[in-house]
Amino acid sequence: MSDAAQLVAISPLQSLKSPYLPSNRVVFSSCGSSRFVSDLCDTLKRQGNVDGGRVKAITNSSQQGSIQGLDTSSPVSIELKPILNETQFDRMIAEAEQLDESVVILWMAKWCRKCIYLKPKLEKLAADYHPRVKFYCIDVNNVPYKLVVHAGVTKMPTIQLWKDSKKHGEVIGGHKAYLVVSEVRDMIEGEDES
């Protein structure tokens, strides 16, 4: 493991003497799962728990059973809002245009394993962009085929970015979920820059 990504294990019984750790170290408690560390890093970045290039230390209180220092008011994930028909789709697109917002739509099917696996990852991404980008999902088997054709969806999962009543970007998610999420993030960021 490189110095830039060192992990320091801290028992829940240990306490930190310094309020800061070097920025190249991530601290985790004895729960120790890499998923936990990843979620913690995402939360720290999102909440700005960085001071002068140093990550603020967070300790685990075994008495309270929770992590202290994290803002629990911001959601970790946001459920994708389902769109069930053409009327809902048209209304959602019109509202987004009126509010000058971007919309991300996951086109999926309940039988698609990659869609099922990708959906919770996009729900986490939705929390990162909440409230400036709205995330929706459409099950292609539950809407008229005309709507699927109008959106140009030919494969699943397909993730589209819509703004000003037009499709501005598309990612077809046939590969690893983390790569798809990265491409969707790039698509959103690219739209913000233009």
The residue annotated as part of the active site, out of 31, 41, 112, 137, is: 112
Find the Cα–Cα–Cα–Cα dihedral 114, 116, 118, 121, rounded to 10°.
-160
The residue annotated as part of the active site, out of 31, 41, 115, 137, is: 115
Tell me the β-bridge partners of 26: 7
Question: Is 115 among the residues known to form the active site?
Answer: yes
Q: Judge whether 148 and 160 are in contact, CB under 8 Å.
A: no
Question: Is 112 among the residues known to form the active site?
Answer: yes
DSSP string, 110-178: TT-HHHHHHHHHHHHHHHHHTTTEEEEEEETTSS-HHHHHHHT--SSSEEEEEETTEEEEEEE--S-HH
Q: Compute and round to an integer the Cα radius of gyration of the chain.
A: 20
Residue 134's closest CA among 166, 113, 160? 160
- According to DSSP, residue 89 is labeled H
Bin 32: left if φ > 0, else alpha if -120 < ψ < 50, else beta: left
80 burial class (0-12, 13-18, 19+ CB within 10 angstroms)? buried
Catalytic residues: 112, 115
